[in-house]
Amino acid sequence: MAQNPPRHGGNLHQAARRLDCRPQQLLDFSASLVPFGPPARLRGVLRRALSGGPAAALVAYPDRSYGELREAIALHHGIDASAVLPGNGAAELFTWAARDAAVLGVNTVLAPGFADYQRALACWHGHWRSQVLQLPHREAGPQAVGEALAGPLLPLPGPLWITNPHNPTGQLWSRESLLQLLEQVPLLVVDEAFLPLLPHGEQQSLLPLAAQHPRLVVIRSLTKLCAIAGVRLGYAVATPQRLHQWAQWRDPWPVNGLAAAAGIALISDQPWQRRVHRWLGQEGPWLQQALGRRPGLQVGPSAANYLLISSEQSLQPLRLELEQRHRILVRDCRSFEGLNECWLRLAVLDRGRNQRLLRALDQVLALDRA
Ligand SMILES: Cc1ncc(COP(=O)(O)O)c(C=O)c1O
């Protein structure tokens, strides 16, 4: 049976079954996580969770108000804890943002873009339209959203969903352009899942405004920053009234005790953040340039820890060769609206693994030419 292309990267277990190998044998460039995670602080959290007696994170019910976690996140951002709501990954919080957005008119999402917002809107029978980005894109940013579109954005018929930096292109949107858009919409949802990885990302963040602004929701995730996709931890910043309503709607204890303990330990890890910024500041441009030298491949400029590449021809044979011959997974982009078999997305990993990717690419491209 023909399968639809995956809507998400990082499907290690599925790929291992398909390739008849163990997930540990795969080199994953399809999900974009920090390559040297998780932070060492997580070890202490796990030790305490296993050995801490009846109040330990694994044994006791989590605090239903997540007070300590909310305080830790609030302190990190210099905002009030009542404006923070932790979630079971950013994905869970999109669902609640979508519940609000679904009743405010036709939503706008950028295409190609991260498809989970549509999943969330569909839960509440919400409607959406796509606003098409110009491709290939020429700038990594910070740039104005309006300048990167194929057509005029305004007037908008309802809420707007923005990913900053954008996925899959890696464009960083300027804070100023987002503030202008905020004036035009009944609700602006800004997904900043990747923003804390970028060396100067915080300068473009709308998070400091979200605690007070009734038409703004900012969503963050620790998945990428700390390489803890399996833990599931994100948070929303919005007005206390909005978040109080979401908390009434959802299941009790949506964030498990281990995730809450991890969040308290990791959110304030400044040396970790600096290490991530140093890595991306060096490795992102290095991989971009190295890929750009490969014949037949175009590499879009990216501020993020992933690169969108394209070719005049289908890149599916290349993707399959990387997977089958080299056990390297890259993001098949056919599930992104507006992209086809000529596009792939690659994570930026560490130098050793990036070089392994380049060697494998060279072998496949040389075979192609032979
Ligand atoms: C742009 C973007 N936002 C959010 C998420 C999901 O984050 P989480 O793992 O916290 O649910 C992803 C995952 O790929 C993503 O690409």
Rounded to 5 degrees, what angle do the CA atoms 8, 10, 13 make?
115
71 and 208 fall within a common domain: yes
Number of structural domains in the chain? 2
The one-letter amino acid code at 253 reads: W
Q: Note the Cα 116 to chain centre separation in Å.
A: 10
- Going from the Cα of 347 to the center of ligand 1, the distance in angstroms, rounded, reads 14
98 and 242 fall within a common domain: yes
pLDDT for the residue numbered 227: 97
Structural domain boundaries, residue 353: 12-38+271-369
Tens digit of each residue's pLDDT (9 = 90 or more) over 155-169:
999 999 999 999 999
Measuring from each residue's beta carbon to the nearest atom of ligand 1, which residues come in under 6 Å? Answer: 89-91, 114, 163, 167, 191, 193, 221, 223, 229, 234
Share of the chain above pLDDT 70, in %: 99
Q: From atom 3 of ligand 1, which residue's Cα is the shortest distance away?
A: 193
The stretch 13-26 carries a mean pLDDT of 90
Distance CA 128, CA 343 (A): 24
151 and 231 fall within a common domain: yes
pLDDT for the residue numbered 141: 86
119 and 243 fall within a common domain: yes
- Going from the Cα of 176 to the center of ligand 1, the distance in angstroms, rounded, reads 24
Mutate to test the pocket of ligand 1, among 29, 109, 114 (most ligand atoms within 8 A of CB): 114
Q: Is the peptide bond before 136 cis (omega within 30 degrees of 0)?
A: yes
In a domain, 1, yes or no: no
118 and 187 fall within a common domain: yes
17 and 56 fall within a common domain: no
In a domain, 48, yes or no: yes
In a domain, 208, yes or no: yes
pLDDT for the residue numbered 3: 64
The stretch 24-49 carries a mean pLDDT of 94
Q: Which residues contact 285 (CB under 8 A, 6 or more apart)?
A: none
pLDDT for the residue numbered 329: 96
The stretch 330-342 carries a mean pLDDT of 96
Tens digit of each residue's pLDDT (9 = 90 or more) over 337-366:
999 999 999 999 999 999 999 999 999 988
What's the pTM value of the predicted model, to 2 decimals?
0.96
CATH for 316: 3.90.1150.10
- Going from the Cα of 254 to the center of ligand 1, the distance in angstroms, rounded, reads 17
Q: 219, 240, 268 — which closes off a domain?
A: 268
Tens digit of each residue's pLDDT (9 = 90 or more) over 237-280:
999 999 999 999 999 999 999 999 999 999 999 999 999 999 99
